[in-house]
Structure 1
Amino acid sequence: MKTYAAVLVGAMVLLGGCIGGLGGTATDDANRQPTTEPASTANTTSADATPPTTTDVERTVNATFVVEDGENETVSLMVADERSERQSGLMHREELANRTGMVFVYENAQQVSFWMKNTLIPLDMIFLGPDRSVLNVQHATPQPNASGGELKTYPSDGEAKYVVELPRGFANRTGVGPGTELVFEDAPPEAESSGWLPSMSL
């Protein structure tokens, strides 16, 4: 899977692409990034390189948001459980079917922050903790001509283990918000080990 570079700020990781993250030590996602991987890998795509039109994910899962005082909502999610997949995310896509999106899976729960670099579709970014309950929802708008310094960031309210991206408007329409639980049809996806160990020095 693909991810973009992160900018290290405090204990957050800033991710490129669809989302990004500001983390204590590094980032590994295109639009999103956790705090446990090196930021040097992000934003390494040459300006002359041909951008991918889709993210090459290996599998898709079905999951249901259990909405209190509302109807449960089942969605189909591409699984970004590898660093390369998280780096690319939903970048360069021009459309996304209703109730279809992507779930970013991290090895460990951490503070993350996403941005919309190279992301063309308005998105709801739904941040979930290790227990798969929603921490917060961010409503993101494309910034096609923005420079890196002009990109708005969308952080998690707490340590996120999963981030789900769906077409913008999904959360407001369905009532998905803080406390909503996400139940996977099968076992929850796990992140592929990066083999990178963060520094323990302060």
Structure 2
Amino acid sequence: MRVSAVLSVVCLLVLAGCAGGGFGSDGGNQGTQTPTTVEETVNAAFVTGGNRTTVTLEVANSAGERERGLMYRESLAKNHGMVFVFEDPAVQSFWMKNTLIPLDMVFVSENGTVLNVAHADTQPNASDSELRSYQSDGDAKYVVEMRQGFADRVGIEPGSKLVFEESRPKVEES
């Protein structure tokens, strides 16, 4: 049983590494692809030392939405981002393939506690082997991507909380 659990985690890491941060491995030309559109949004708040910052998050809760993420987007509104929702908490690894906006990646545990924040820069024209990988410092159920600088501006750090205003988003059933 233990071996199968380890193999499952390894498979997830390999898939995440292949698909990563904006999750995606398509080799399309930047700027010629259409940005991802998702149907569901949620309101949430980051709570940092008594301060509460409300955000609107597009929900990437299907394999296709997680794969495309924020690829090919040219802008994000203030306090607007995307939350990637995973079936089971696990170490998550993202990259910036075909992502045009520098991002803060906020890795969040199942109970809403921020594990770590990665400040991810764009890498135009980088090959897959040249792409930097950004990884959670523990088992993440959610990964929130916001414009780079957001986390520093509002003070998000390990131990901060992500609170969903409505019910927590779930993985879309296939």
The TM-score with structure 2 as length reference comes to 0.86
Which of 102, 105, 109 is matched with 1:122 structurally? 102
Distance 1:110 1:54 in 2: 27
| Structure 2 counterpart of 1:67, one-letter code | T
| Structure 1 counterpart of 2:93, one-letter code | S
Which of 32, 39, 52 is matched with 1:58 structurally? 39
Which of 15, 37, 43 is matched with 1:26 structurally? 15
Cα deviation, residue 59, structure 1: 1.1
What corresponds to 1:98 in structure 2?
A: 78
What corresponds to 1:110 in structure 2?
A: 90
The TM-score with structure 1 as length reference comes to 0.75
Distance 2:73 2:61 in 1: 19
Structure 1 residue matching 2:15: 3-state secondary structure: coil
Structure 2 gap ranges (5+): 1-7
What corresponds to 2:157 in structure 1?
A: 177
Distance 2:158 2:124 in 1: 29
Cα deviation, residue 26, structure 1: 3.0
Where is the helix percentage greater, Structure 1 or Structure 2? 2
- What are the equivalent positions in structure 2 for 1:1-202 lying under 5 Å apart? 11=9, 23=13, 26-27=15-16, 29-31=19-21, 43=25, 45=26, 47=28, 51-69=32-50, 71-194=51-174
Structure 1 residue matching 2:83: 3-state secondary structure: strand
Distance 1:51 1:77 in 2: 25
Structure 1 gap ranges (5+): 1-9, 14-21, 34-41, 195-202
Distance 1:93 1:110 in 2: 27
How large is the Cα RMSD of the aligned pairs? 2.5
